[in-house]
C-alpha cells in the first residue's frame, strides 16, 4: 500500500548539510497501522511529509497504491493526495464557518468522492449524530478531532497519515479517540502511519518503528 524505497533527505543549514533520512525503507500493507517514533528532530515529520508528497526526497521513492510519486507532476500529485490520502494533525484544522456535516464532507467534495451514505455512517460512528448542524466551536476537543478523523476518512483513503493526532487531548479523551481511529482504520482497510511520542499511543497499533540517525529500527517498548 505504502512503500518507501531508499528514501534520502538532507537539509542545508547554516552549519552545513544535515542528513535527516539516510536511505529509509518501509512497507505498509492495507489495513495495517504503524507507529513512527523517535526523538525530537529525528525526522518523523520529514518522513510524513515525503510520504504525503508534500516534499520531495533527494533520492529514493514513495509509492502509494503502486504509483510512484516521483512519476507525477505537481497537479497529479495533488490529485492523488486529495483522492487517496487522509491527513490528521494534532491541530484539528476544521473550517470554523462550516458545520459538522460540511466539514466532514469537505475533502470528499473536493475529491469528487462524495458519498452521503458513507458520510452518514461516519457521523454515527464518530458519535456526532444529531450534531450535524453544529459548528466546530460548539464541539469539545475530542469531538473536533473525531470530526477531523471523519473528514480524512470520508474519501475512503487508501493511506491515512496522522501526526500526533491525540496530542492535544487529555489522556482519557485521547484513549477513546485512538480506539475509534483504530476501529475505523480496520473497517476501511486503509493503511495508517502515525507519528507519536507516546509508547502508550503506539502500543495498540500493529507495529512500531523508531527513527534514529536517519534509519528506521524496531522500537523498544
Ligand atoms: N526545511 C528545513 N530546513 C532545514 N532543516 C530542517 C527543515 N525541516 C526540518 N529540518 C531539520 O530536520 C530535522 C528533522 O526535523 P523533523 O521536523 O522531521 O523532526 P521530528 O522528528 O518530526 O521532530 P519533532 O518530534 O520535534 O516534531 C531537524 O533537525 C530539523 O531542524
What pLDDT, on a 0 to 100 scale, did the predictor assign at position 220?
67
What is the chain's mean pLDDT, rounded? 94
Q: For the chain, what are the domain ranges? A: 2-218
Instruction: Give percent of the chain above pLDDT 70.
Output: 99
> How close is the Cα of 132 to the center of ligand 1, in Å?
38
What pLDDT, on a 0 to 100 scale, did the predictor assign at position 9?
98
Per-residue pLDDT at 205 exceeds 80: yes
Instruction: Give percent of the chain above pLDDT 90.
Output: 88
Task: Give pLDDT tens digits for 162-203.
Answer: 999 999 888 998 998 899 999 999 999 999 999 999 999 999
Ligand 1 pocket, residue 55 CB under 6 Å:
no
Per-residue pLDDT at 112 exceeds 80: yes
Task: Give pLDDT tens digits for 50-93.
Answer: 999 999 999 999 999 999 999 999 999 999 999 999 999 988 89
> How close is the Cα of 57 to the center of ligand 1, in Å?
14
Answer for the pair 23, 79: CB distance below 8 angstroms, yes or no.
Answer: no
- C-alpha cell belonging to residue 158: 487508501
Per-residue pLDDT at 134 exceeds 80: yes
Ligand 1 pocket, residue 51 CB under 6 Å:
no
What pLDDT, on a 0 to 100 scale, did the predictor assign at position 1?
86
Per-residue pLDDT at 206 exceeds 90: yes
User: ipTM of the predicted structure?
Assistant: 0.97
Ligand 1 pocket, residue 13 CB under 6 Å:
yes
Per-residue pLDDT at 7 exceeds 70: yes
Mutate to test the pocket of ligand 1, among 7, 9, 18, 198 (most ligand atoms within 8 A of CB): 18
What pLDDT, on a 0 to 100 scale, did the predictor assign at position 219?
83
Task: Give pLDDT tens digits for 24-45.
Answer: 999 999 999 999 999 999 999 9
Instruction: Name the closest-CA residue to atom 31, ligand 1.
Output: 41
Ligand 1 pocket, residue 38 CB under 6 Å:
yes
Ligand 1 pocket, residue 198 CB under 6 Å:
no
What would the CATH number be for the domain defined by 2-218? 3.40.50.300
Question: CA 140, CA 144: separation in Å to the nearest integer?
Answer: 6
Ligand 1 pocket, residue 43 CB under 6 Å:
yes
> How close is the Cα of 148 to the center of ligand 1, in Å?
25
Instruction: Name the closest-CA residue to atom 28, ligand 1.
Output: 41
Amino acid at each position: 500500500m505504502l512503500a518507501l524505497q531508499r528514501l534520502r533527505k538532507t537539509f542545508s543549514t547554516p552549519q552545513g548539510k544535515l542528513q535527516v533520512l539516510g536511505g529509509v525503507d518501509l512497507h505498509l500493507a492495507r489495513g495495517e497501522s504503524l507507529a513512527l517514533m523517535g526523538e525530537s528532530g529525528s525526522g518523523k515529520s520529514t518522513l510524513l511529509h515525503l510520504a504525503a508528497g508534500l516534499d520531495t526526497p533527494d533520492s529514493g521513492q514513495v509509492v502509494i497504491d503502486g504509483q510512484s510519486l516521483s512519476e507525477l507532476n505537481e497537479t497529479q500529485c495533488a490529485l492523488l493526495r486529495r483522492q487517496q490520502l487522509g491527513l490528521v494533525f494534532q491541530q484539528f484544522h476544521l473550517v470554523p464557518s462550516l458545520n459538522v456535516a460540511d466539514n466532514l464532507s469537505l475533502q470528499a467534495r473536493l475529491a469528487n468522492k462524495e458519498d452521503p451514505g458513507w458520510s452518514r455512517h461516519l457521523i454515527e460512528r464518530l458519535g456526532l449524530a444529531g450534531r450535524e448542524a453544529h459548528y466546530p466551536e460548539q464541539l469539545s476537543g475530542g469531538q473536533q478531532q473525531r470530526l477531523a478523523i471523519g473528514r480524512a476518512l470520508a474519501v475512503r483513503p487508501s493511506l491515512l497519515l496522522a501526526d500526533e493526532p491525540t496530542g492535544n487531548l487529555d489522556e482519557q479523551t485521547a484513549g477513546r479517540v485512538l480506539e475509534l481511529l483504530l476501529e475505523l482504520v480496520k473497517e476501511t482497510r486503509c493503511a495508517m502511519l502515525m507519528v507519536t511520542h507516546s509508547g502508550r499511543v503506539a502500543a495498540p497499533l500493529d507495529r512500531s518503528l523508531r527513527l534514529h540517525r536517519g534509519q528506521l529500527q524496531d522500537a523498544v517498548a
